[in-house]
Amino acid sequence: MIAATTRVARRSGVLAHLGLALVAYVPFLASSPGDVAADTKQYLYLDPGRLLRGASYLWDPNVGAGTVLHQNIGYLFPMGPYYWLMEQLGVPDWVAQRLWFGSVTFAAGAGVLFLLRTLRRHDVGAVAAAFVYMLSPYVLAYTARQSVILLPWAALPWLIGLAERSLRNPGWKHPALLALVTFAVGGTNATALLFAGIGPVLWICFAIVVERRVSARAALATATRIGLLVAATAAWWVAGLSIQGRYGLPVLDYTETVKAVAAASSPIEVLRGLGNWFFYGRDGLSSWITQSSQFQEDVWLLVATLLLPVLAFAAAAFTRWRHRVYFVALIAIGVVIAVGTYPYSDPSPIGRAFKSFAEGSTVGLAMRSTPRAVPLVALGVAVLLGIGVSALLARRAQLGIAVGALVVIVAVVSLPPVWSGDYVGDNLKRPEEIPQYWLDVARDLDAKSHDTRVLALPGSDFSAYRWGNTADPILPGLMDRAEVERELVPFGSQASADLLIALDHRFQEGTAEPSAVAAIARLLAAGDVVVRYDLEYERYR
């Protein structure tokens, strides 16, 4: 009897994972086949081997006439090796990219199944919870543009599940696994990882204070093991971040402000899985995220995205489960953090305190992207919905299955790209093949002396070309020779950044003197000048 039950449970688990994989991979592969999205770093697709070779150094001669970067080191694992392997296997860039998107999404859903199985929940409710979390609208602000920031989102349920297993099984195995997960997902964005880290920390605190099932001494021993191992596995990117902060420009001062981040992070938007300021922005031609207009204008989509948290709160109120207080608290804490200083002109007392902290210190400014705490909210909503479905299943099996199916349907409806096939917007893609004239230019420049760099004019906030959007300029990914141009965020030294901005400003305003280019090029140690006539300049300036 026990063996038969185990086989049924295993078969159900396999089917659940297959269902998650189907929904995770197929919509991405069906979205803009043949086109490569301008995701994360274009050099992952142009030449991942070159990116990996450069990522082992904190000095990058290809940015801002030479600068100290910390983010490139994060591509040493896992994105860099993944794309390098796909290239060696001859997988087309667009297919490799969609498989990456699907794998991150599948990892998030499988993580919820792992968490609930750890909590001894492995029924229809657990599957429904996995779908709800995996299909959170939160992903739209990052998929096809900055998918690397989704790694902590995918890792969150795994971190909580491994924290629970670490408490149950004293020793180093599960803390080591938890540390390896943070090693895999934390190399490029500390803020997203720190917010995800609230999940396991809060779990350990609840086990001691609220549920009182673990002694403070035992929990402290577990937390110490986890802390030591996480610190060891994070040292590689923490060191890079520290060195960049000491020797590089204060990049935080030139990127989004606390006021900009707070523009859209209302409690309602956060509960919907949204609230990221970037999701609502526009350039000169279109929305940054093309799907955003649907979420702002379609009433049915507003209802669908609000229905899930409403049902989750109802499930919390009417079901009895020892861990429900934790997930309610996870939602509450996630909302408070994600809302941050909204509304900026008159925030709450907590928001006012954070506003003062964020605008008054470098550490605070680094934490300004508070909507990256939305995964805490999304996971709390998903798990509470799953537990509600499980409660119905225990009382009336058919009703529980029907409600579970309904929850999954609402989750799918709440993320239109799953069924509309437009995960990759028209403003964020390019053909698989780079135009031949760019390949010819890169080959010609690379054949010349590498004692000088290449100056590209005019500059652009992001590199959007007539033939497609790459976000990053493509020349550094096509040649080994150093290149310099004006981009949105200044890098390098203050002097070189100011010089590039001053030069490019004159081109943008139509007041440049061509005779001055050679003199400035010599100051930048540039031996060749490339004039980019194929920029989609009206998108930015």
Eight-class DSSP state of 124: H
Per-residue confidence (pLDDT) for residue 244, from 0 to 100 = 84
CA distance 45 to 432: 9
CB atoms within 10 A of CB 192: 25
Per-residue model confidence (pLDDT) at position 254: 85
Q: 3-class SS at 58?
A: coil
For residue 465 the two structure tokens come to 């070309």
Please provide the distance, in angstroms rounded to a whole number, between the alpha carbons at the two ends of the chain: 70
Contacts within 8 Å (CB) and 24+ apart, 311-315: 311/385, 311/388, 311/407, 312/380, 312/381, 312/382, 312/384, 312/385, 312/388, 313/384, 314/388, 315/384, 315/385, 315/387, 315/388, 315/389, 315/391
Q: What is the pLDDT of residues 73-89, one digit of tens each?
A: 889 899 999 999 999 99
Contact between residue 74 and residue 148 where contact means Cβ atoms under 8 Å apart: yes
Distance, in Å, from the CA atom of 329 to the CA atom of 332, rounded to the nearest integer, reads 5
Residues sharing a CB contact under 8 Å with residue 533, sequence separation 6 or more, in sequence order: none
For 405-480, strand residue ranges (E) read: 429-431, 453-457, 463-465, 468-471
Strand partners, 457: 531
Question: Which residues are registered as beta bridge partners of 474?
Answer: none
CA–CA separation, 367 vs 372, rounded Å?
Answer: 10
Give the three-class secondary structure for 61: coil
Beta-carbon count within 10 A of 446 CB: 14
What pLDDT sits at residue 136? 97
CA 207 to CA 164: how far, in whole Å? 9
Coarse DSSP helix, strand, coil percentages of the chain, rounded to the nearest 5 percent: 65, 5, 30
pLDDT in tens, the chain (541 residues): 444 444 545 666 788 999 999 999 999 999 999 999 999 999 999 999 999 998 888 888 878 888 887 678 889 899 999 999 999 999 999 999 999 999 999 999 999 999 999 999 989 999 999 999 999 999 999 998 999 999 999 999 999 999 999 999 989 999 999 999 999 998 888 899 999 999 999 999 999 999 899 999 999 999 999 999 999 999 988 888 888 888 888 888 888 899 999 999 999 999 999 999 999 999 989 999 999 999 999 999 999 999 999 999 999 999 989 999 999 999 999 999 999 999 999 999 999 999 999 998 888 888 999 999 999 999 999 999 999 999 999 999 999 999 999 999 999 999 999 999 889 989 999 999 999 999 999 999 999 999 999 999 999 999 999 999 999 999 999 999 999 999 998 888 899 999 999 999 999 999 989 888 999 999 999 999 999 999 999 998 7
Tokens representing 325?
Answer: 């207080």
H-state helical runs in 396-434: 397-413, 417-420
CA gap 462, 539 in Å, rounded: 9
Tokens of 42: 């274009």
Q: What is the pLDDT of residue 10?
A: 63
